[in-house]
Amino acid sequence: MSKYDYDDTPSPSRNPIRLDLWDMLSILGLVLMLCIGVYVIAIFATPNASYNLLNPARNQPPTATITQIQPPATWTATPPGPTDTPTLTLVPTITLPPSPTLVSLITPSVTPTPTQTPKAPFSATVTYIDSTIIHPEAACNWQGVAGTIIDSNNADMLGIAVRLSGFYNGKSKNELTVSGIAPAYGKSGFEFFLDTVPIGSDGLLSIQILDQAGLPLSGNISINTYADCSKNLVLVKFKKNP
């Protein structure tokens, strides 16, 4: 074969390098991972940096600063209400004219008669005696009030109510009896037992007789008691006034 002989057979051609979509996405992912790695390393090295989006100090709100308001140095409290003192104007005093005094020059010829207080139907006499006259068995261990009721002709009156009231030995008394139940003193006799020990008192007890309607037939007769054994029986005799 001579040197002038040429091979007309075409040589195989090279295909040019082509990047498809997946190759581009792979390269982009590698670049993104590289950037993220550099960002993580930077945050790890300086965690308080301003580009650290996860820094807690970055997400906290600013702290409020409270400034206290101070009054002026020459401030003086002013009381409420008006400060002026009211002036009182006195009203003139009115003097009333004196009342006329009536004087009678004529001497009255009629003298008024005083009103008489009605007299009770019965009056009473009070004596203090030894109780052994009626109760010899009790000796001095007895004290009481007793008596009789008679009319203006000294006749005994039976069934008349007798009331003893007041205070004795620190206790109140309000007892009723009728004449004729204690014949030891007479047909119209009555009796109130007080105590087994004679006790002295001054006007704390009173005795009175009443009619069937409860109206008084005598005044309220005040009586005393004595701690003396010779005066331990109060004897009251009621007699109808003529």
CA distance 149 to 237: 6
Calculate ∠ Cα 112-115-121, nearest 5°.
155
Please report the pLDDT score of residue 47 as a whole number.
Answer: 74
Please report the pLDDT score of residue 21 as a whole number.
Answer: 82
Residue 21 φ then ψ, to 5°:
-65, -40
**Contact yes or no for 136/239 (Cβ under 8 A):** no
DSSP state of 141: S
Token readout for 176 is 């009723």
DSSP state of 56: H
- The pTM of the full predicted model, rounded to 2 decimals, is 0.52
- What torsion, rounded to 10 degrees, do the Cα atoms 151, 154, 157, 161 define? 60
Q: Which residue segments constitute the domains of the chain, with CATH numbers given?
A: 122-240 (2.60.40.10)
Please report the pLDDT score of residue 19 as a whole number.
Answer: 67
Count of all residues that appear for the chain in the document: 242
**Contact yes or no for 213/206 (Cβ under 8 A):** no
Please report the pLDDT score of residue 106 as a whole number.
Answer: 61
- Spatial strand order in the sheet of 221-225: 171-178, 161-168, 201-210, 221-225
Q: What is the mean pLDDT of each run of 10 residues along the chain (242 residues)?
A: 52 60 86 86 76 65 65 60 61 66 61 66 96 93 97 95 96 96 96 96 96 93 95 96 93
Calculate ∠ Cα 176-178-181, nearest 5°.
120
Please report the pLDDT score of residue 63 as a whole number.
Answer: 65
